[in-house]
Chains A and B, each alone.
Chain A
Amino acid sequence: MDLKELYQEIILDHGKNPRNLGKFENFNKDAEGYNPLCGDKVHVYLKLNENKEIEDISFEGHGCAISMASASIMTELMKDKKNPEVKEILNDFLDMIKQSPELKSQLIKEDEKTKLMSLSGVKQYPMRVKCATIAWHALASAMDYKKDENDSEKFI
């Protein structure tokens, strides 16, 4: 285990100064992610237009550096993305956090990949995986994605 890998600069920065923090007016979709183990909460707010494009996104919540950084990075990345890209990126991220050594989606730019991969350190800390995914699960509910019946780790 390596703490430096878990608490990389990007994570410490986003954890301390989360981007897109706070509820904004005119949101039309929202959902809460909750970790019953620790009581951490992340509430995601979206402004979705009729093309299911995320015009604006923010989050509120309290939690550890990992959950706050993950929510912050996610909101930066998802702004102006639309369905089904959002779903593809979301599934790709969850797959990477749980098992895949890399991000596969072509929709994610190199600099975005670097940011997302900074969260990959949680793989070595199974109890912390939920911290990295809580905001992403909230986003999935806000987008009305459902879990795949044959693969509960995947959203359809």
Chain B
Amino acid sequence: MSLKDIKKEFPIFNNKIQNNDLVYLDSANSSQKPQVVVDRIYDFYTKEFSNVGRSIHYLAVAATNLYENTRTLVQKYINAKDKNEIVFTKGATEAINLVANTFGQKYLKEGDEVLLTELEHHSNYVPWHYLRKSKGVKIKFAEMDENGDVTLETIEKNISDKTKIIAITHLSNVTGAILPVKEITKLAHSKNIPVLIDGCQGAPHLKLDMQDLDCDFYAISCHKMYGPTGLGILYAKKKWLEELPPYQGGGGMIREVKKEGITFGELPNKYEAGTMATAQVIAFGESIKFINKIGIENIEKHERELTVYGEEVLRKNNSVKLIGNPKDKGSVLSFTLDGVHPHDIATILDEDGVAIRAGHHCCQILHEKLGLSATARASLGVYNTKEDLDQLNESLNKCKKIFS
């Protein structure tokens, strides 16, 4: 599939948004959906719907197969060793909560340390925060440097003999920094510390190989990967999923239930209690196929070129200040504009059909460090073009004019 006409695959771009062509620069928040994904949801509900993993009628068996097919597609996509290392959750947030909760319950005690970074999204801080109260666990934050990076050395400096788990982002949703996650994992493992990677921004943009990366846990948000909302993935090494206690209790995750006690089901059912987001899982299979058709390497190359172009355009604009200049940068352009608050920027840009995000992007720790209460952020996806970034710049000039 060629990248040239890729916008055509996304129906949202066929319609005007408030009389404008949509310039969608909010993919780090959530990506748009290709027609194949939308169609798959419709088809499943209209022709194939049944619950999975329970009944033995025709539709139930077929739906179960479709559901499990996505698990295999995900396994191959991230090169996990075993398909049972893929757990479906309601989002990346739930994936991280699952690990914080079960790992915390079993392995953490008072005085133990969880090492995060100052780059973390709230979803990779708040779940660990609960362990402060319940267990007296200490949370440490590896510092972000002036480029918006967190280096291997900084991680190393923050590891102590109390560090029990390291939970870090793969790619910062504000500074765009791509962390040296493989090296960090190697370092952590040399000290017997497991590593969780928040891959919300990594998975949609970078080629993943779990066996090479060797991390213990990797959280994925499907709606940022051209997939449906309400779905996330937890990759976890099999030994962890076997060792850790179940997370939520309910139907589907048990083996035998008696008045005196309960035994739990095998993987992956152990972590998939209740009726799962069946249609979303099945449709997400189409998202993976869509990405595979283009090739994640091609997507990455396209987005990296656009990021460089976007930085060039914005650097030329004297009133714009780019936030973060990391060594290795993903397709995120955070910035401020002299004399105009990010919320005002977002409203004015919206008038031209340019959709960006303004605020703290769920990273208040990071913004406190920057000394800013808010930033504006343009983030890219496969469908973006240089013209989109030119329009961004033009609309920023309009902001300047209004506030001059």
Which residues of A are in contact with B by a Cβ distance under 8 Å?
1, 3, 6-7, 12, 16, 37-41, 62-66, 125, 128, 131
Contact = CB atoms under 8 A, between A and B. Distances in A.
Interface in B363-404: 364, 367, 373-374, 402-403
A63 B359 contact: no
B359 A39 contact: yes
Contacts of B87: none
B351 A64 contact: no
Given A38-B359, A65-B341, 16 more contacts: A6-B347, A7-B344, A7-B348, A7-B403, A37-B359, A38-B358, A39-B359, A39-B367, A39-B373, A39-B374, A40-B374, A63-B341, A63-B343, A64-B342, A64-B344, A131-B343
27 contacts: A1-B351, A3-B402, A6-B347, A7-B348, A12-B402, A16-B339, A37-B359, A38-B343, A38-B358, A38-B360, A38-B374, A39-B359, A39-B360, A39-B373, A40-B373, A41-B373, A62-B373, A63-B341, A64-B341, A64-B342, A64-B344, A65-B341, A65-B344, A65-B403, A66-B343, A125-B347, A131-B343
B18 interface: yes
A124 B374 CA distance: 23
Contacts of A131: 343
Contacts of A12: 402-403
A52 to B, nearest CB: 32
A6 to B, nearest CB: 7
A48 B231 CA distance: 53
Residue in B342, B347, B402 whose Cβ sees the most chain A Cβ within 10 Å = B347
A125 B18 CA distance: 13
Give the top 8 A-B pairs by smallest Cβ distance, nearest first.
Answer: A64-B341, A64-B343, A38-B359, A39-B373, A39-B360, A64-B344, A65-B344, A62-B373
Interface residues of B, number: 19
A131 B343 CA distance: 9
A99 to B, nearest CB: 21
B366 to A, nearest CB: 11
B42 to A, nearest CB: 30
Contacts of B402: 3, 7, 12
A125 B343 CA distance: 12
Contacts of B344: 7, 64-66
A131 B342 CA distance: 12
Contacts of A64: 341-344
Interface string B123-136: 00000000000000
Residue in A1, A37, A65, A128 whose Cβ sees the most chain B Cβ within 10 Å = A65
Interface string B344-357: 10011001000000
Contacts of B360: 38-39
B18 to A, nearest CB: 7
Contacts of A16: 339, 403
Contacts of A6: 347
Contacts of B359: 37-39
A109 B274 CA distance: 61
A40 B358 CA distance: 11
A133 to B, nearest CB: 14
A3 B402 CA distance: 9
Contacts of B351: 1, 3
A17 B348 CA distance: 20
A125 B346 CA distance: 12
Contacts of B373: 38-41, 62-63
Residue in A39, A40, A62, A63 whose Cβ sees the most chain B Cβ within 10 Å = A39
A41 B360 CA distance: 13
B403 A39 contact: no
Interface string B206-224: 0000000000000000000
Contacts of B343: 38, 40, 63-64, 66, 128, 131
Given A38-B343, A39-B374, A3 B403 contact: no
Nearest to B367: A39
Interface string B319-362: 00000000000000000000111111001100100000011100
Contacts of A66: 343-344
B358 A39 contact: no
Contacts of A1: 18, 351
A62 B403 CA distance: 17
A19 to B, nearest CB: 18
Contacts of B367: 39
B359 to A, nearest CB: 4
Residue in B18, B364, B403 whose Cβ sees the most chain A Cβ within 10 Å = B403
Contacts of A63: 341, 343, 373
A115 B342 CA distance: 24
